[in-house]
Amino acid sequence: MSRSRTCHVRGRHTRPEPIRVVPADGPRYTGPIAVLTSGTTVSAGETFTQALIDRPGGMFRIGQPTQGVFSDVMQRNLPNGMTAILPNEEFLNRSGRTHDGTGIPPHITEPVFTKEEFAKNRDSAFDRAVSVLRNDG
């Protein structure tokens, strides 16, 4: 049985291209994990989060939706001094869906980096992650 998996990436107007992902040999953790996300989770943080979605062993996303900005961008300076910035690729999940624009939603919504959290020296998302991983809720 092969342990390799395939994910797909495509340009905006091209067919998805498979990318073979081969796990490293050696010991690995196969239990449940919690991933904390927020609107400041962008780019590589989002592709990493998306890559973990179908991870064996379970994964809980806790916090707020990611920003929805996955890919590198093409940037052009326009003659009027404005700049046009466009993403030039899509990262697709197994069902062929992209989370560009909407971001990846959490399983469990918790406040992240709010003034109220900072004022009370709290991290509700982290506390909830610990609770979920301990099977407390």
pLDDT digits (tens, 9 = 90+) for 66-104: 999 887 788 999 999 999 988 778 888 778 888 888 899
pLDDT band at 54 (very low <50, low <70, confident <90, very high): confident
Confidence of residue 124 (pLDDT cuts 50, 70, 90): very high
- From the CA atom positions of the chain, what is the Rg in Å? 18
| In this structure, CATH architecture of domain 5-24+31-133 | Alpha-Beta Complex (3.90)
User: Please, which pLDDT band fits residue 5 given cuts at 50, 70 and 90?
Assistant: low
SS3 track for 14-59: CCCEEEEECCCCCCCCCCCEEEEECCCCCCHHHHHHHHHCCCCCCE
Strand order across the beta sheet in which 5-11 lies: 17-21, 5-11, 89-92
At residue 104, the pLDDT reads: 94
Measuring CA to CA, how many Å separate 23 from each of 4, 27, 92? 6, 11, 19
| pLDDT of res. 116 | 93
Model pTM? 0.73
What's the pLDDT score for residue 7? 66
| CA-wise closest residue to 7 among 63, 56, 47 | 47
Determine which of 59-68, 88-97, 121-130 has the lowest per-residue pLDDT on average.
Answer: 88-97
Cα separation, 12 vs 26, whole angstroms: 37
Higher-pLDDT residue of 17 and 95 is: 95
